[in-house]
Structure 1
Amino acid sequence: MELRRFFDRAVRSSFRDLALHDEPVATYLGDLLTRFARTEQLFPPGVSVPRLETVVDLLLEAQAAWDETAAHFGPEREIDVRRHLGDYTLFMTGVFRERVERIASTGWYVSQGKKAYRFVSEHERASARPARREGGPLYARLAERFEHYAWALDYARRVHFHDAPTLPFFRFGTH
């Protein structure tokens, strides 16, 4: 089965089981899992440090977006990094909750993920471009219901991923 379809089915089935009714978020989470199935996608493109492996690294990268001497100067870079921060923390607290509990505070990950999505939501909502404004409500819901969606990913992992193909990100959580 195609990987994207596998994740879509797992997420949608989990949403049904958990009575979460949000088609755009289900689609987004299926896409997130598909993207992060490739471990190099766990790190945003064009980073200024060799490898961003922690939430703190991502926060520093977002701050560096405003350094005029940096190669990736600009507010759009900050939006990309903060979106990735929201995605990363949601993915980690959902799929690898036990790892997050071992290496950091789950509450802090949740807080940083919510802040990141809220930042992206406000930026998208304030944007003059119609395509961007449509993203605002999605990211606002991701911020508001972050814990619900993290638990939905955890549920999907426990219920649907036991027969999953050997994906690199499943090895990531065991280190």
Structure 2
Amino acid sequence: MLSRDLSLQALFGELVDRAFALSLRWDDRQVMRYLTNLLTEFAHIDSLYRLHDLNGRPLQEVAEMLYYADIRLGAQSFYQEREVHRHIGDFTLFWTGVYPEALPKLRASLRKDHLIDYVKQGKESYRLVSLFDIGEWREEAPMFRRLSENFEVAMQGLYAVRQMWEQMAQESFLRFRKQVEGF
């Protein structure tokens, strides 16, 4: 699995580089590394739902995550508050950028996330993460500020990454089909 992840990370790194540095002209290497790692991590669906409630049940909605992101409610420490907000930022950026067509289902009327604006919440969560600018978090805090301020650009870049990988998959399938059919 490790070598597959490294290959996947290399693929995502190349696609992120093309989408962000070349197409969008946002050549922020720290952000690009972060987004490459995010895509690699979220390729494993269990990483999307890595947060759990006190009963061990995966948190599948932002509304549930917000409870555990507040020290006055469910967060047991400031570290947990920061990590949950980071995950909320990642989660909302992933869905709004990579799979925006899933948003109507994620925010359906009977779901807790019905009234949550994923873009607004993602920006706010990354902004809150950026406020933790001490100790081990000092160096990456400004990056989260940039992600908050450029959330929509990051969404656009991630969608471009998805389009590129889908095109690569289609081209690969067509090459395979030609070989199988003898063309």
**Is the TM value for this pair above 0.5?**
yes
1:5 corresponding residue in structure 2:
10
TM-superposed CA distance for 1:19, in Å, is: 1.4
2:118 maps to which of 86, 91, 109: 109
1:33 maps to which of 27, 39, 50: 39
List gaps (5 residues or longer) in structure 1: 165-175
* In 2, Cα distance between equivalents of 1:103 and 1:22: 30
Question: Secondary structure of 1:163's match?
Answer: helix
- What letter corresponds to residue 63 of structure 2 in structure 1? V
TM-superposed CA distance for 1:158, in Å, is: 1.1
TM-superposed CA distance for 1:46, in Å, is: 4.8
- Equivalent residue pairs, number: 157
Identity of aligned residues (%): 33
Larger Rg belongs to:
2
Is the 1:97–1:106 Cα contact (8 Å) retained in structure 2? no
Question: Secondary structure of 2:164's match?
Answer: helix
In structure 2, do the counterparts of structure 1 residues 106 and 10 end up closer, same or farther at CA, with 3 Å as the change threshold?
A: farther
TM-superposed CA distance for 1:66, in Å, is: 4.2
Q: Which aligned segments of 4 or more residues in structure 1 are displaced greater than 4 angstroms?
A: none
List gaps (5 residues or longer) in structure 2: 108-113, 170-183
What is the Cα-based RMSD across aligned positions, in Å? 2.3
In structure 2, do the counterparts of structure 1 residues 106 and 47 end up closer, same or farther at CA, with 3 Å as the change threshold?
A: closer
- Where relative contact order (Cα < 8 A, 6+ residues apart) is larger, the structure is 1
TM-superposed CA distance for 1:84, in Å, is: 0.2
TM-superposed CA distance for 1:163, in Å, is: 3.5
Q: What TM-score, normalized to structure 2?
A: 0.77
